[in-house]
Structure 1
Amino acid sequence: MVRRILHISDCDKFIPPYIKFIKENFESDFENHNFLVTSGMAVNTLPNYSNIYLIPKSKVGKIKHYFHIVYEMNRSDKIIIHNLFNFKNVVLLFFMPWTLKKAYWIMWGADLYTYKLGTHDFKWRFREFFRKRVIKNFGYFSTTVPGDFELVKDWYKSKSVFIQNLMYPSHLYRDLIPTQSKDKSEVYIQVGNSADPTNNHHEVLTYISGLELDDYKVFCPLSYGSPSHRESVIQYGKDLLGDKFIPITNYMDFSEYNKYMSSIDIAIFNHDRQQAMGNMIGLLSLGKKVVLKRTTTPYNFFKSLGLKVYSLDDKDVMALLTKDDKVRNIGIMRHHFSPERLKSDWEKVFYG
């Protein structure tokens, strides 16, 4: 039985529900888990447990926090790194290579694809010097999409053991819930999942504006990401689509967002990399049509499960899913993205 498990993460929206999931499903061992968390968008929803350590705001407090991480890295049996974007953690691992054999990288997306999409300037090369040596020697790599591990092996010559993992409660199947009231003749289209430029909003909005659509509305979640890009997308969407374009700038909690997604008919994710998996999984679970780029690892992953997903170059991309395709997709999602699988995946990480 594992004695101590250290979790290191930013406090993104995935983390508070994940900690509650660990508490509920691994209660007898929960006291063996320590969570060292830096600030993030979900700090206000972080549970008040004694084994959660949130980085202080003071400079002295932050220094003590990283000394705490060093101490816990050396005394813990397993180290779970949720997202490798915090460069300070990369440096710590670089200078303590003996800890890497017991370290697990739980990959979110941008923390891998910065290799390909980042600006290759001096800062990028400096960071990659450290990242390359750390990523190559991680003991374990775990994420939902197997294709991303193939990229890790290709880009970083990784020696990691791969553990496929649903990762977080946001990646679970969602039961159908009552749809928000809407005119049944209208088609509701979602574009992207955030105000991050990697959504390539402008390209999709231009594409939609060139279609001969009758009753439709375009919803664009922009509650987090780049403020300047958010304003650019809002202005562009209004100029092209007028009142048909509806930006969503207020952050919704998980339940509220699921209710919103139940009203969507077609969702277009124009990312060049793995991103927005929680959105895609939720929409596919709800029987919605999901449109991705063929070149992305999620497109190939969903196809491998037998799911009906689309790309913008498909002729029937703006047609609603047939009843048979909807039922089939929902059945696959219910089977594959189950709470039982999520618990089993983490058992492999904690006890394997």
Structure 2
Amino acid sequence: MIGNSATKSNRHEEVLNWLSKYSDKEITIYMPLSYGDSEYRNRIIRISKEKYGISAVPIVQYMNTLSYVKFLSTMDIGIINCNRQQGMGNILFLLALGKKVYIRRETTMWESYCSKGYTIFDAAKIPELTYEQFIHFTSKDKEKNENICDQTFTYEQYIREWNDFLEAINR
């Protein structure tokens, strides 16, 4: 999966170019484009169809949360190539689902996820990777990411955060 919306900061075209070296492999490229800049969305759809034909699947219909999480669960790899903090919900769901996630090292997200112990990968390194390196993700790292999410996002944690929020707005 590439990106999280139809915005230029997702840099879809760059990723589509990177992935072209794997064109001899059976890959399907999903691109959530249901919101954002419609002109940009149409351009990315056109470019992806020219490069990958039916292997490029633009997601242009908005999905409710449950449907979207089910969709994310079918992905193997998520590439959030944003040059700024963006797609955090997508990234967290992908990590919680045990998926391999690529983001940009120079974003604030990189340090945030690394400091929590997640195993993530630098999107800018994709051009240097063989297909085997690109898809390789150990079961140990998958389980580690899932466990961090399980420990971080507990019911009790949500209650504490909402209580803190409600107390702050009552002051």
Q: Same fold (TM over 0.5)?
A: yes
**1:335 to 2:151 alignment:** yes
Aligned mates of 2:109, 2:153 — CA distance in 1: 14
Aligned mates of 1:199, 1:217 — CA distance in 2: 18
Aligned mates of 2:95, 2:142 — CA distance in 1: 8
Deviations 1:81-115 (A, max 9, x none): xxxxxxxxxxxxxxxxxxxxxxxxxxxxxxxxxxx
Corresponding position of 1:143? none
Aligned mates of 2:83, 2:33 — CA distance in 1: 18
Aligned mates of 1:317, 1:233 — CA distance in 2: 26
Deviations 1:147-204 (A, max 9, x none): xxxxxxxxxxxxxxxxxxxxxxxxxxxxxxxxxxxxxxxxxxx000111111111111
Aligned length: 163
How far apart are 1:258 and its partner, in Å? 0.8
Aligned mates of 1:194, 1:297 — CA distance in 2: 19
Matches within 5 A, 1:109-128: none
**1:349 to 2:160 alignment:** no
Larger radius of gyration: 1
**1:275 to 2:73 alignment:** no
Aligned mates of 1:351, 1:253 — CA distance in 2: 30
Aligned mates of 2:102, 2:90 — CA distance in 1: 12
Deviations 1:228-256 (A, max 9, x none): 00100000001111121111111111111
Q: Unaligned regions of 5+ residues in structure 2, if any? A: none
Deviations 1:280-318 (A, max 9, x none): 111100000110000111111111111100012164652
Corresponding position of 2:7? 196
Percent identity between matched residues is 34
Aligned mates of 1:232, 1:317 — CA distance in 2: 30
Residues 287, 327 of structure 1: 8 Å contact kept:
yes
| Alpha-carbon distance change, 213 to 292 in structure 1, aligned in 2, over 3 angstroms | farther
Corresponding position of 1:326? 142
**1:225 to 2:36 alignment:** yes
**1:307 to 2:118 alignment:** yes
Aligned mates of 1:283, 1:195 — CA distance in 2: 19
Deviations 1:25-64 (A, max 9, x none): xxxxxxxxxxxxxxxxxxxxxxxxxxxxxxxxxxxxxxxx
Aligned mates of 1:250, 1:326 — CA distance in 2: 29
Paired AA for residue 233 in structure 1: I
Corresponding position of 1:206? 17
TM-score, normalised relative to structure 2:
0.89
Residues 217, 246 of structure 1: 8 Å contact kept:
yes
SS at match of 1:295: coil
Residues 311, 317 of structure 1: 8 Å contact kept:
no
Corresponding position of 2:105? 294
Corresponding position of 2:47? 236
**Bigger strand fraction:** 1
Aligned mates of 2:4, 2:155 — CA distance in 1: 24
Matches within 5 A, 1:35-114: none
SS at match of 2:19: helix
Residues 310, 317 of structure 1: 8 Å contact kept:
no
SS at match of 1:250: coil
| Alpha-carbon distance change, 341 to 260 in structure 1, aligned in 2, over 3 angstroms | same
| Alpha-carbon distance change, 317 to 193 in structure 1, aligned in 2, over 3 angstroms | farther
SS at match of 2:69: helix
Residues 265, 320 of structure 1: 8 Å contact kept:
no
SS at match of 1:191: coil
